[in-house]
Structure 1
Amino acid sequence: MRHDLFIAGFGGQGVLLAGNLLSYAAIIEGKNVSFFPAYGVEKRGGAAMCTVVIADGDVGSPVIGNPSVTIALNQTSLDKFGAKVKPGGICIVNTSLVNLDAFDRSDIEIIRVPMNDIAMGLGDARMVNMVAVGVYVARTGAVGSATLEEALKNALPERNHSFIPANMKAITAGAEFAIAKTS
């Protein structure tokens, strides 16, 4: 089993936290993982992206030329990286911020998720990344949903552990949306 994921958005959307969370969950499950973050010097508002490779066997390189799954949290990310998704792959798109009219890929599955709307419905716009994680985990099974709560204890600083229930609620909302879309 091997899962490779590319997440892109702008600083402040929690791109790196989402990748870090998935990495910790994979480690807890005894899988091999590679996490490769990249962001602009300005962080908040600038480009942010990361790759996560989860595998039962060896993980050679954290660099993914053509990911199996891409999560695009904003328009720039889809415009820049949407064409790189491997044929037969999946592109999970935040339709709250992304217009798909010009994105023409019939060789991949496009999962349209109004992530900002879901996060706002939960009462916190900052939960967009956790909604995305929920969709990804429900759709791919890369890590178990139950493992994510434990992984949040590692991914979040201790002073933010009080937010774990809210994060889990957003992950669950994303997973439920993904399951409803495939039913």
Structure 2
Amino acid sequence: MRKDVLIAGFGGQGVLLAGNLLSYAAIDEGKNVSYFPAYGVEKRGGSATCTVVIADGAVGSPVVGQPSVLVVLNQASLERFGARVRPGGVLIVNSSLVDVSALGRTDIEIVSVPMNEIATDLGDPRMVNMVALGAYVALTDAVKLPSLAAALSQALPERNHKFIPANVKAIETGAEAARAKKEA
């Protein structure tokens, strides 16, 4: 088994935390993981991406030129990375902020989830990353949802552990939304 994902958005959307959490969950499941974050010099609003490769065997490189799954949280990320998705791959889109109509790809599966709306409805618009991660896991089975919930205590600083139940709810809601879109 080998799964790879590129998560892309802007600084402040929690892209790096999402990748870090996914990595911890995979490690806790006994899988090999490579986590490769990249971000602009700006504190908020600049580009933020991370690549996570999960495998049963050795992970050769953290660099993935054509990811099998791309999670985009903003329009600029779609424009920059949308063409890179491997044919037959999956594009998971934050339809709250991203319009895929100009992408012109028919060789990939596109799953649109209104991540910002879901996070806001749950009471915290900052949880868009957890909604996205739930959607990713529901569509790929890269890790189990309970593993993500358990790994939150490793990925979040102790001062933020009080937010773990809300994050778990956001992950579960993102997973439900992605499953519903896939079945539709």
TM normalised by structure 2 equals 0.98
Structure 1: which amino acid aligns with 2:99? N
Residue 12 of structure 2 aligns with which residue? 12
Post-superposition offset of 1:181: 1.7
For structure 2, the residue ranges without an aligned partner over 5 or more in a row are: none
The separation in 1 between residues aligned to 2:80 and 2:126, in whole angstroms, is: 23
Aligned alpha-carbon RMSD (Å): 0.6
Q: Deviations over 1:40-83 (max 9, x none)?
A: 11131100000000000000100000000000000000000000
Cα offset, 1:182, TM superposition: 2.3
Asked whether 1:109 is paired with 2:106, we answer no
Alignment of 1:26-175 (within 5 A): 26-175=26-175
Describe the SS at the equivalent of 1:163. helix
- How far the C-alpha of 1:179 sits from its partner, in A, is 1.4
User: Secondary structure of the residue that 2:53 maps to in structure 1?
Assistant: strand
* Long gaps (5+) in structure 1: none
Instruction: Name the aligned partner's letter for residue 181 of structure 2.
Output: K
Q: TM-score, normalized by length of structure 1?
A: 0.99
Contact 2:130 2:167 in 1 (8 A): yes
Report the identity percentage. Answer: 71
CA distance in 1, matches of 2:84, 2:17: 23
Q: Runs of at least 4 residues of structure 1 off by over 2 A?
A: none
Q: May I ask how many residue pairs the two structures share in their alignment?
A: 183
AA at the equivalent of 1:151: A
Contact 2:21 2:155 in 1 (8 A): yes
Aligned-pair distance for 1:178? Answer: 1.3
Give the match's secondary structure for 2:93.
Answer: strand
